């Protein structure tokens, strides 16, 4: 059964580790992530962007697929199904469809509007038992056509949003989605430290987990990050493994064109990536 992400992230913050949010795109992705979490006895958050939700057919299809896999694969570790960077309307759709967690990304609104919309959604989410993440300071890079510059959040604005009753907070600290450019300045630990001091026990979320060096990840966890989002890295691993399979001509041998064979190396590559991240984040054995 799906659970909200509140308890697993409170536990993670108190225990100085982070739970991975891995974004899903299809059945193979979801199965690989769930099986790895179960094997490693780790809690896990399945992230669904609005674009990925649409791609998979819609939010009800996603909920049906995930709930079916939890049952059929006997997944017993805590799993949350979380809307990633939700719009105001998207949040309501996911609450209705049976998600267990939502993120409202109001970072592009003026702070007063972000506060007003987040306040309304906190009530709507909590009334149905879902957890809710909010964002201050837009995360850089491009995700589903939404381009952000990688701002550093204002710690006072973080406090204002944290006080609305949200369950975890994404604060921009110079992180970006996708691959980091050569001239990237690194994470702003000064900002993270200031945000944590203002927001206390609130679990903090680090978006753009792909390509952040291990030492920075560990330092971020020490400064209160309890949830780390990874998307691009699984996509790159899946694409590289699939490319290798095709370039080796294996799709042309026997029944190598069967999707169950064609997509298998990519699915295994996702498992390996998720395992590596769970080990780095310290969530192994924490279910
Ligand atoms: P990456 O694609 O950079 O791993 O970022 C994922 C993310 O933050 C999803 O919200």
What separation in Å is there between the alpha carbon of 261 and the centre of ligand 1? 28
- Measured CA to CA in angstroms, residue 125 lies from 41, 88, 261 at distances of 27, 12, 40
Question: Could you give the CA distance from residue 254 to residue 158 in angstroms, rounded to a whole number?
Answer: 57
Give the Cβ contact number of residue 236 at 10 Å: 16
Instruction: Estimate to the nearest angstrom the gap between the alpha carbon of 152 and the chain centroid.
Output: 19
What's 173's DSSP letter?
Answer: B
3-class SS at 135? Answer: strand
Which atom of ligand 1 lies nearest, measured to the CA of 235? 2
- Indicate if 251 belongs to the active site: no
Nearest to 21 by CA among 222, 212, 231: 231
Helix (H) or strand (E) holding 195: helix 189-199
pTM: 0.96
Which atom of ligand 1 lies nearest, measured to the CA of 234? 4
Is 167 touching ligand 1 by the criterion CB < 6 Å? no
What separation in Å is there between the alpha carbon of 250 and the centre of ligand 1? 31
- The mean of the pLDDT values for the chain is 95
What separation in Å is there between the alpha carbon of 133 and the centre of ligand 1? 15
Is 51 touching ligand 1 by the criterion CB < 6 Å? no
Is 133 touching ligand 1 by the criterion CB < 6 Å? no
What separation in Å is there between the alpha carbon of 235 and the centre of ligand 1? 11
Which atom of ligand 1 lies nearest, measured to the CA of 232? 2
| Residues 205-228 as b or e (16 or more Cβ within 10 Å = b) | bbbbbbebeeeebbebbebbbbbb
Predicted pLDDT at 185: 86
Nearest to 101 by CA among 166, 13, 183: 166
**CB half-sphere exposure, 169, CA atoms < 13 A:** 32
What's the pLDDT tens digit per position in 121-162? 999 999 999 999 999 887 777 655 555 557 899 999 999 999
Helix (H) or strand (E) holding 132: strand 131-136
Which atom of ligand 1 lies nearest, measured to the CA of 176? 3
Confidence band for 29, pLDDT divided at 50, 70 and 90:
very high
Question: Could you give the CA distance from residue 54 to residue 51 in angstroms, rounded to a whole number?
Answer: 5
Helix (H) or strand (E) holding 226: strand 225-230
Question: Could you give the CA distance from residue 266 to residue 236 in angstroms, rounded to a whole number?
Answer: 9
Give the Cβ contact number of residue 284 at 10 Å: 16
Q: Which of 72, 84, 112, 154 is catalytic?
A: 84
Is 23 touching ligand 1 by the criterion CB < 6 Å? yes
What's the pLDDT tens digit per position in 98-129? 999 999 999 889 889 999 999 999 999 999 99
Predicted pLDDT at 120: 97
Predicted pLDDT at 139: 77
The set of residues, in sequence order, having a beta carbon less than 8 Å from that of 194 and lying 6+ positions away, is 155
The set of residues, in sequence order, having a beta carbon less than 8 Å from that of 249 and lying 6+ positions away, is none
For residue 272, the cross-strand partners are none
């Amino acid at each position: 059964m799906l659970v909200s992400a509140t308890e697993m992230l409170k536990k993670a913050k108190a225990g100085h580790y982070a739970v991975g949010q891995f974004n899903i795109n299809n059945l193979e992705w979801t199965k690989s992530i769930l099986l790895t979490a179960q094997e490693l006895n780790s809690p896990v958050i399945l992230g669904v962007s609005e674009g990925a939700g649409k791609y998979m057919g819609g939010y009800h299809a996603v909920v049906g697929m995930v709930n079916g896999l939890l049952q059929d694969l006997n997944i017993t570790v805590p799993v949350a199904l979380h809307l990633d960077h939700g719009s105001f309307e998207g949040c309501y759709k996911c609450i209705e469809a049976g998600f267990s967690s939502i993120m409202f990304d109001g970072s592009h609104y003026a702070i007063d509007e972000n506060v007003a919309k987040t306040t309304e959604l906190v009530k709507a989410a909590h009334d149905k038992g879902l957890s809710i993440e909010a964002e201050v300071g837009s995360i850089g890079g491009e995700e589903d056509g939404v381009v952000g510059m990688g701002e550093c959040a204002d710690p006072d604005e973080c406090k204002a949003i944290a006080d609305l009753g949200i369950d975890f907070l994404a604060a921009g600290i110079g992180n970006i989605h996708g691959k980091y450019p050569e001239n990237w300045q690194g994470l702003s630990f000064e900002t993270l430290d200031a945000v944590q001091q203002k927001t206390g026990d609130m679990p903090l979320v680090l978006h753009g987990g792909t390509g952040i060096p291990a030492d920075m990840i560990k330092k971020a966890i020490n400064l209160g990050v309890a949830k780390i989002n990874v998307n691009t890295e699984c996509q790159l691993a899946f694409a590289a493994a699939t490319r290798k399979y095709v370039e080796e001509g294996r799709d042309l041998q026997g029944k190598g064109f069967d999707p169950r064979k064609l997509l298998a190396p990519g699915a295994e590559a996702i498992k390996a990536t998720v395992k590596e991240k769970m080990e780095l984040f310290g969530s192994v054995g924490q279910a």
